[in-house]
Each structure stands twice: as structure tokens, then as C-alpha cells.
């Protein structure tokens, strides 16, 4: 916020591709990180990690459903509740109900039996 005369104005920062910071940003251990690192949150702490390693190790899973079914039970072993994109056998992206049975399994329920792929990440 900035005080101008008798008014207070809010300023919104919009960042595009790169953010340049003049000061040091420290993680939970007080480390400033290195050039090319990204700051990530573990839920309880923040830490620097190598961007190249982080982006190359993002866990994904692709499930192929055949034969056609209204319920696809997928054991993905990702140890998380991933986002899900369902693509039918004819290449159409559809909206389906997703139930997370555990951190390693989910069930997709369709309105009608179909084949296709489920992309999890």
C-alpha cells in the first residue's frame, strides 16, 4: 500500500516469466540457495532444490483402460492425490468423478462404459 495525500492505494504485483530479487531469500535452515535453484514448500518448511532435478522427477502415471468400463480402479503408487485427466478411446477429454481411495489408488467413475487413458500427475 502507498499513502498519497488523503488516500491509500493498493498496488498489485504481477509477475511474468522471471522474478529478480535484490535481497537474499532464505529457506527454513537459513540457506540462500544457489543460482538456478527453486524454493519449494514441504508443508512445514521451505527449502531450496535444484530446478533441473525437481522438474525431471515429478511423479506421473498413465493408466490405459481396456476393456470398456464405467468404473476404472487405478493403482498408481504415487503416494499422493494426483490431478487426473481422462481421455476416451476416441481422444475426447471428459469430466469424470474421481474418488481417492488412498494415497496410492483412485477410482474414476464414468456415466457410460468407455475405454481410454487416465493421465495422473
Query: Averaged in consecutive runs of 10 residues, what is the pLDDT profile of the chain (121 residues)?
Result: 54 54 69 74 73 62 96 93 93 94 95 96 87
Give the pLDDT confidence score for residue 5 in this predicted structure.
Answer: 57
Confidence (pTM): 0.55
Give the pLDDT confidence score for residue 111 in this predicted structure.
Answer: 94
Contact by Cβ (8 Å): 78, 84: no
Amino acid at each position: 500500500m502507498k499513502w498519497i495525500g488523503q488516500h491509500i492505494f493498493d498496488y498489485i504485483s504481477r509477475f511474468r516469466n522471471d522474478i529478480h530479487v535484490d535481497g537474499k531469500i532464505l529457506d527454513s535452515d537459513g540457506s540462500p540457495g544457489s543460482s538456478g535453484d527453486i524454493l519449494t514448500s514441504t508443508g512445514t518448511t521451505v527449502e531450496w532444490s535444484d530446478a533441473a532435478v525437481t522438474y525431471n522427477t515429478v511423479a506421473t502415471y498413465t493408466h490405459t483402460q481396456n476393456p470398456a468400463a464405467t468404473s476404472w480402479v487405478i493403482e498408481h503408487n504415487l503416494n499422493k492425490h494426483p490431478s487426473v485427466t481422462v481421455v476416451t478411446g476416441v481422444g475426447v477429454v471428459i469430466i469424470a468423478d474421481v474418488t481417492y481411495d488412498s494415497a496410492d489408488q483412485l477410482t474414476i467413475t464414468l456415466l457410460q462404459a468407455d475405454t481410454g487413458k487416465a493421465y495422473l500427475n
